[in-house]
Structure 1
Amino acid sequence: LWSGYTPDRVRELLKRLWQLRLIRYIPSNRSPLIYMNEERLPTADLYIAPETYHRRRELMRERFERMLAYAANEERCRSEVLEEYFGVEHPQPCGVCDLCLARRRAAKRHAEHTDTALREHLLRLLDGGEIPLHEAAERLGCAPDALSAAVDALLAGHEVELLPNGKLRRRR
């Protein structure tokens, strides 16, 4: 519609609309202002088909329900929920929202609890005497890196000692 108009022609048209009292136009070289004096369409002339109204109502209800679901969400990453809402196909957890951080803290507590339990099991195993590390790993049924971390913690706490023959024993 406006593609063939020059800036001067547009200014003329805006001034004419102002003279007709359809708009209030304040010309300016940098940023002109346009105010609408009244509603463009009288409400008596406004008609929305019932189907259109019902569809809009359903869309608003759906948006509202999804907003409530987002707020009540205690399980899924907040970014995942938002990205899914906006159409991202395979959203990934962000790792920084409140739910991701809570999940990470819970995993850390679980790992700490597991580490503590492993150290306690190892100490009980060592109550029976010296034992080679590979045998301790087999008997405890744990991964070598988990056993290594437990042994390091017990060595640092002076609860066990590593003998020259490669066996582990509890300090008395």
Structure 2
Amino acid sequence: MLCPDAVPPTRLSGVSEDPAWVAPEGSWASSAARRRNMQAIRSRDTKPEKLLRRLVHARGLRYRVGARPLPDLRRTADLVFGPTKVAVFVDGCYWHGCPDHYVPPKTNPGYWSEKVLGNMKRDRDTDQRLKDAGWLVLRFWEHEPAEDCALQVCEAVADRKARQGGASA
């Protein structure tokens, strides 16, 4: 039985409405619901990645998934073609600052805008380090047609394979 002064709990937005919820120390979360939502976002095996992988695989190419192109660099590419030194990245529009689709956040904008800017800087640094090591870097946005991306990947790998064959003959 409820006390006469007790207010029944509401379930409109789940735990985020709980006034007793406190973000863990150092957390970026503005609410429990936001924290759960952001933690559920995949960093690999996204739908655009899986579709691209399926199309490239269907064309006969084999690759490594989520691998480090350079062992001493703590960054992974979505598809890695080691023998031909081709690294493929499928970037999410929000997380990597797509010029067409990125919308600045309304909640905690200072943190998230800085986070996306840091991702963009890291992407450019990764590109440069891989290029310096002789890799070809292909980056696609998640909204780009997967068929077009797969075609570009296949052409790039075939071109590099042909160059390697011609150089060693």
Fold shared by both chains (TM-score > 0.5): no
Report the TM-score, using the length of structure 2 for normalisation. 0.27
Structure showing the higher helix proportion among its residues: 1
Report the TM-score, using the length of structure 1 for normalisation. 0.26
> Greater Rg, structure 1 or structure 2?
1
